[in-house]
Amino acid sequence: MTIFKSYSLKKKIFLAVRILIVITFLFFFLYPVFWVIQTAFKQRIDMFSLPPQYVFKPVMENFKFIFEKMHVFQWTLNSSIISLGTVVLSLIMGVPAGYAFSRVKFRGKYLLLMFILLTRALPPVIIVLPFRVIMHTIGLFGTRMAVILIDTVYNAAFTAWLMSGIFENIPVDLEEAGIIDGCTPIQAFIRIALPLSKPGLVTSALFAFIFSWNDFLFALSLTSPPTATLPLGMLSTFGMLSVGWTYMAAMGVIAVIPVVVVSLLLQRYYVSGLTFGGVK
């Protein structure tokens, strides 16, 4: 009996130490998040006090200021339009392609899939340069459309790859039965396969959203002031050091909340997309 007891006690201590170490790491990962949230509610006077103060009277004036005196509303709108546009266009391009990859064999399939995935591998700086020249030529430079178009290059490819894996796991029999019953292949895809692939659609949409919402380089290179996104706007506030970081923090909270909330709510889908479908 005593042996058993000490064994389980040892196990408990071991687990406690384990949790303690993990929490120490977690502290490192969450401190900046905590800092930006609490700074957003600080007054300027509390801002620069060292040692840092964690007990203070929270105020809303930073949020009031950034919405009244800066173009935060416009930036948020631009970010939203670009993100939603990218989600829609990426799904339109990527989902049918993923379906085709999983359902038909053809020569060059490997090469095409390779080409599609390569888009994901290349540093954005490489493509943004010629892309900007082209946008100048066709008169789209400075528009939100220009950013949507380049964001979609990255996300349509990712969607195609992800969806091909999802459709692989959906048995083909149902669609064949549908075709025997008189569906066209396109109807079989839309009415039978598509509803079954919902988890994949959610993951694809989520990643297209996170990608374009978090994008900075493409927006920096392709937008003009009226079409600037949140990250660009934020960069301009940091220069105002004289007024403190409280406005910057308030904008940071606005910029980060949508992606954090959505991806934590859809955590299952988020995690499955993170591994590129490479770990099963």
Partner 1 sequence: MQISGRRTIHLFLLPITVYLIIFFLYPVLFELYISFFDYSLGSPKKFIGIKNYLAMLKDEEFIISLRITSVFVVSAVFCQLTFGLLIAILLNHESRIMNIIRTLILIPTVFTPLVAGLVWKALLHPDLGPVTYYLRQLGINIGRGLTVERSTALFSIVMIDVWEWTPLMVIIILAGLKSLPEEPYEAGRIDGASAWHLFRYITLPLLRPTVVVALLIRTLDALKIFDIIWAITRGGPGTATTVANIRIYDVGLQHLRIGYASSLSNVLLVIGILIGVLFVNVLYSRKYGGIR
Question: Judged by CB under 8 A, does residue 22 bind partner 1?
Answer: yes
Report 199-238 residues binding partner 1 (CB under 8 A). 210, 213-214, 216-217, 220-221, 230-231, 234-235, 238
Strand partners, 4: none
The stretch near partner 1 (CB under 8 A) out of 57-65, 66-74, 197-205, 256-264 is: 256-264
Structural element, H or E, at residue 76: helix 72-103
Distance in Å, CB of 179 to partner 1, minimum: 7
Instruction: Name the residue nearer to partner 1 (CB basis): 60 or 118.
Output: 118
Burial string for 239-249 (b: 16+ CB within 10 Å, else e) reads eeeeebbbbbb
Q: How far apart are CA 167 and CA 144, in angstroms?
A: 32
What does the block give as tokens for 257?
């909340």
Q: In angstroms, give the least distance from the CB of 2 to partner 1.
A: 23
Residues 140, 266: Cα–Cα separation, whole Å? 34
Which token pair is 212?
A: 């374009």
**Which of 88, 103, 183, 202: binder of partner 1 (CB under 8 A)?**
103
- Residue 41 Cβ vs partner 1, minimum distance, rounded to whole Å: 15
Q: Under 8 Å CB-to-CB from 266, ≥6 apart: which residues?
A: 202, 206
Among 175, 197, 201, 204, contact with partner 1 (rule: CB under 8 A): 175
Please tell me whether residue 6 binds partner 1 under the rule CB under 8 A.
Answer: no
Site string for partner 1, 33-52 (x = CB under 8 A): x-xx--x--------x-xxx
